[in-house]
């Protein structure tokens, strides 16, 4: 059974829009590309046909992944979120004691992660380290360079 994933309303709409686009635009376009490549002759020596079939496989895999994600998706009602602990969709202000610098991260599902926007996946090392922590807790995050210590300074809603 697939794991339940939590999304914001915007994140869920983005997933639905991508799936709709792949099914209604990309899939028919891929069929046309394959048909055009097939019309070019002997399939055993047709690299264009092979490439199109491979691309079709990637497209169908993405469609299946999105359908699975949507089947197991749950929209989070942000108005009732608990801010006493770092949870999905919490915005967490932390102090990295090694660098004496503050960072702000919003914990999101893997599909919504965007490091440039400060949105980190709950499956990332930092996300895993912060989940369930409270203000004042010290999170020990296992990163490739060792252990990073982050003090939780504040938890708010997104």
* Structure confidence at residue 99 (pLDDT): 86
Q: How far apart are CA 126 and CA 148, in angstroms?
A: 9
Residue 89's CB is within 10 A of a number of other CB atoms, namely 22
Q: How far apart are CA 139 and CA 148, in angstroms?
A: 8
What is the rounded radius of gyration, in angstroms, for the C-alpha atoms of the chain? 21
Mean per-residue pLDDT for 59-87?
A: 86
Domain ranges for the chain? 5-75, 78-157
Give the global pTM.
Answer: 0.67
pLDDT at 145 > cutoff 90: no
* Position with higher pLDDT, 46 vs 92: 92
| pLDDT per residue as tens digits for the range 48-72 | 888 889 999 999 999 999 999 899 8
* Structure confidence at residue 80 (pLDDT): 67
Length of the chain in residues, anyone?
158
pLDDT at 122 > cutoff 70: yes
| CATH level 3 topology of 5-75 | Helix Hairpins (1.10.287)
Q: How far apart are CA 65 and CA 111, in angstroms?
A: 11
CATH class of segment(s) 78-157: alpha beta
């Amino acid at each position: 059974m697939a794991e339940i994933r939590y999304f914001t309303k915007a994140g869920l709409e983005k997933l639905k829009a991508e799936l709709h686009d792949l099914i209604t635009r990309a899939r028919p376009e891929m069929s046309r590309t394959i048909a055009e490549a097939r019309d070019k002759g002997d399939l055993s020596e047709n690299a264009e046909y092979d490439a199109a079939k491979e691309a079709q496989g990637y497209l169908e895999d993405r469609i299946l992944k999105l359908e699975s994600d949507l089947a197991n998706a749950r929209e989070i009602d942000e108005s009732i979120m608990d801010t006493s602990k770092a949870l999905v969709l919490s915005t967490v202000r932390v102090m990295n004691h090694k660098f004496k610098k503050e960072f702000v991260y919003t914990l999101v599902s893997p599909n919504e992660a965007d490091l440039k926007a400060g949105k980190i996946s709950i499956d990332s090392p930092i996300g895993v380290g912060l989940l369930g922590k409270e203000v004042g807790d010290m999170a020990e995050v296992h990163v490739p360079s060792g252990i990073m210590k982050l003090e939780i300074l504040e938890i708010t809603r997104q």
